[in-house]
């Protein structure tokens, strides 16, 4: 069967306007935001509006033995949504309805294409919130968040996406529709299939609907900033804050490289003379002032040269807005650092035990210096989740090779201290080899057995997470 047959069969099975073949549009759906990950042009972009249309598209693709890559907003940073040449790009962005928001049972039922910010606004209107808040929250979708088990700045206290998914609707590789989980806060019936699909990165099924647990919205938090002369001292402060039993609702680290990049991208008066800033917040409540004082004390003991509290909610929000600009700031700085805007960023994402943060931060600096490569670090530090962002000249093979060597050494370092190869961005195509190292042979076999049981023809997002045998 030919490309022409595939498109014709999809058009027969789906309503007008759902099957798109415009070359520019197809090229636009090749990849996510990760630099240096392979991608080909999809044969067709399918934009379904409901679950039945997703199932129909998957059935036609299966009949043509054509790979299907589920896509949300393509803000991913691991190449997970990148398409192989000739695949079906299955974009869920038109499935953007909040189907139910029940403030008494504190749940939301949403289609996969609902944008994180849209759900946040709807929950806020009922005095509730959906805690996972990736910095891309203004555009990323709930389907993408579930498929990558996304984290964010406020996950240090309330947990990541996994902790807020009660149930899912999933279209399987043969077009059957599976419902997992439940609507109740408690429930243990059957295997936990919901968790199997959370973080499966589009390789086991297409998520079409999610039932999500909401929490009461916290009142405006109290926020402080601690200034450090070394990044490792900031790391040591994070360990000390945890050891003292504090539970901040946010604990973020921004290093000098990122402070300079953010300030150059959008001037905000950040302390670019600091080696690192820690931004901490505690939820408002009877203990808030004491909690914040404890955090401050631990920062000072760990060597903070200055600690100041945000004067009001506007200043606190400005600090978070600056932190959210870290990635785009670095992209901008990297582009400017090399001729013709060829600079790029290999975004890394590792998680280590909090107690190892200080030596790991020193280790990353040593690796960068040894290879003479610029590496900036931002971190959801309270979770031990680091983003070492590696600057390379994409037009220079030697620079790219040096960047990749730095990437590999950072991975090795983090695994050696009991860490993991990805804290929140997922494996995609960027980290397949490192996942195999982390899982070990038996872990790889079990992963392959699960994939084979659910997708025997290897049609759903093939070659992601683990390479096809």
Ligand X SMILES: Cc1cc2nc3c(=O)[nH]c(=O)nc-3n(C[C@H](O)[C@H](O)[C@H](O)COP(=O)(O)OP(=O)(O)OC[C@H]3O[C@@H](n4cnc5c(N)ncnc54)[C@H](O)[C@@H]3O)c2cc1C
What residue ranges bind ligand X (CB under 6 A)?
32-33, 69-77, 80-81, 92, 112, 134-136, 140-141, 143-145, 147-148, 150-152, 201-202, 206-207, 327-328, 424-425, 461, 464
Closest CB to ligand X among residues 112, 307: 112
In order of 208, 431, 465, the CA distances from 435 in angstroms are 27, 6, 7
Pairwise CA distance, residues 170 & 176, whole Å = 8
Least Å distance, CB 344 to ligand X, is: 13
Closer residue to ligand X in complex, CB, 79/235: 79
CA–CA separation, 355 and 12 (whole Å): 58
Degrees to nearest 5, angle at CA 397 with 431 and 424: 20
In angstroms, give the least distance from the CB of 148 to ligand X: 4
Q: Is 6 exposed, middle or buried, given 0-12, 13-18 or 19+ CB atoms closer than 10 A?
A: buried
148 vs 231, beta carbon nearer ligand X: 148
With respect to ligand X, which residue has the nearer C-beta, 139 or 297? 139
DSSP symbol at 218: P
Minimum Å gap between C-beta 313 and ligand X is 21
Minimum distance from residue 355 beta carbon to ligand X (Å)? 23
**Residue written as tokens 């195509």?**
429
For the bound state, the minimum distance from the C-beta of residue 5 to ligand X, rounded and expressed in Å, comes to 25
Cβ proximity to ligand X: between 71 and 356 the closer is 71
In terms of DSSP bridges, do strands 88-91 and 68-71 run parallel, antiparallel, or are they unpaired? Answer: parallel
> Least distance in Å: CB of 153 to ligand X?
7
Whether 421 and 415 have beta carbons less than 8 Å apart is answered as: yes
CA–CA distance, 123 with 223 (Å, rounded to integer): 23
Choose between 151 and 363: whose C-beta lies nearer to ligand X. Answer: 151
* Dihedral of alpha carbons 20, 22, 25, 31, sign: positive
Alpha-carbon gap, residue 271 to 256, rounded angstroms:
9
Host H or E run for residue 181: strand 177-181
d(CA 95, CA 27): 21
Supply the Cα-derived Rg of the chain in whole angstroms: 22
User: What are φ and ψ of residue 227, in 5° steps?
Assistant: -105, 130
Return the number of the residue (134 or 288) whose C-beta is nearest ligand X.
134
Least Cα distance to 276 among 315, 326, 337, 351 occurs for: 326
Alpha-carbon gap, residue 287 to 303, rounded angstroms: 25
Residue 305 CB, nearest distance to ligand X (Å)? 28
The per-residue b/e assignment along 104-133, b for 16 or more CB within 10 angstroms, e otherwise, is: eebbbbbbbbbbbebbbebbeebebbbbbb
CB of 286 to ligand X, least distance (A): 30
Instruction: Give the nearer residue to ligand X in terms of CB position, either 202 or 403.
Output: 202
Q: How far is CA 38 from the centre of its chain?
A: 19
DSSP β-bridge partners for residue 178: 170
In the complex, the smallest distance separating the C-beta of residue 104 from ligand X, rounded to whole angstroms, is 28
Residue closer to ligand X, measured from CB, 201 or 255: 201
- What is the residue whose two structure tokens read 């949300």? 72
Residues facing 211 on adjacent strands? 109, 167
Provide the terminal-to-terminal Cα distance of the chain, rounded to the nearest Å.
Answer: 25
- Is 292 or 435 the residue whose CB approaches ligand X more closely? 435
Least distance from ligand X to the Cβ atom of residue 240, Å = 24
DSSP, res 207: E
In the bound state with ligand X, the residue whose beta carbon lies nearer, of 80 and 376, is: 80
Q: How far is the CB of 229 from ligand X (least distance, A)?
A: 27
């Amino acid at each position: 069967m030919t490309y022409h047959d595939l498109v014709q069969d999809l058009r027969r099975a789906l309503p007008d306007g759902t099957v798109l073949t415009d070359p520019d549009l197809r090229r636009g759906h090749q990849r996510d935001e990760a630099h240096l990950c392979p991608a080909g042009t999809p044969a067709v972009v399918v934009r379904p509006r409901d679950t039945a249309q997703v199932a129909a598209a998957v059935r036609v693709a299966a009949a043509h033995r054509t790979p299907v890559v589920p896509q949300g907003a393509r803000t991913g940073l691991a190449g997970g949504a990148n398409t192989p040449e000739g695949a079906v790009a299955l974009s869920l962005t038109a499935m953007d309805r909040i189907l139910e928001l029940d403030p008494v049972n504190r749940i939301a039922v949403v289609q996969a294409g609902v944008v994180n910010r849209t759900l946040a606004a709807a929950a806020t209107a009922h005095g509730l919130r959906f805690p996972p808040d990736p910095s891309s929250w203004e555009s990323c979708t709930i389907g993408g968040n579930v498929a990558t088990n996304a984290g964010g700045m406020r996950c240090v206290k309330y947990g990541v996406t996994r902790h807020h998914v009660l149930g899912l609707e999933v279209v399987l590789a043969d077009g059957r529709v599976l419902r997992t989980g439940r609507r109740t806060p408690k429930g243990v019936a059957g295997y936990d299939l919901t968790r199997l699909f959370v973080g499966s990165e589009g390789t086991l099924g297409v998520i079409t609907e999610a039932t999500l647990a909401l929490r009461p919205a916290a009142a405006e938090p109290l926020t402080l900033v601690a200034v450090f002369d070394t990044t490792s001292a900031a790391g040591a402060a994070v360990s000390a804050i945890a050891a003292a039993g504090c539970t901040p609702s946010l604990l973020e680290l921004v290093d000098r490289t990122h402070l300079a990049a953010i300030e150059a991208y959008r001037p905000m008066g950040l302390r670019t003379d600091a080696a690192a800033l820690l931004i901490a917040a505690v939820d408002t409540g009877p203990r808030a002032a004491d909690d914040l004082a404890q955090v401050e004390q631990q920062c000072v003991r760990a060597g903070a040269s200055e600690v100041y509290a945000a004067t009001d909610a506007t200043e606190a929000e400005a600090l978070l807005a600056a932190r959210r600009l870290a990635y785009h700031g670095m992209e901008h700085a990297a582009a400017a650092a090399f001729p013709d805007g060829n600079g790029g960023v290999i975004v890394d994402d590792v998680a280590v035990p909090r107690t190892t943060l200080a030596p790991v931060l020193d280790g990353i600096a040593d690796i960068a210096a040894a290879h003479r490569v610029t590496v900036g670090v931002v971190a959801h530090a309270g979770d031990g989740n680091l983003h070492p962002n590696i600057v390379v000249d994409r037009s220079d093979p030697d620079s790219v090779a040096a960047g990749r060597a730095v990437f590999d050494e950072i991975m090795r370092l983090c695994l050696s201290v009991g860490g993991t190869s990805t804290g929140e961005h997922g494996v995609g195509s960027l980290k397949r080899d490192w996942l195999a190292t982390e899982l070990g042979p038996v872990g790889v076999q079990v992963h392959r057995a699960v994939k084979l049981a659910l997708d025997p023809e290897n049609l759903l997002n093939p070659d992601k997470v683990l390479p096809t045998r």
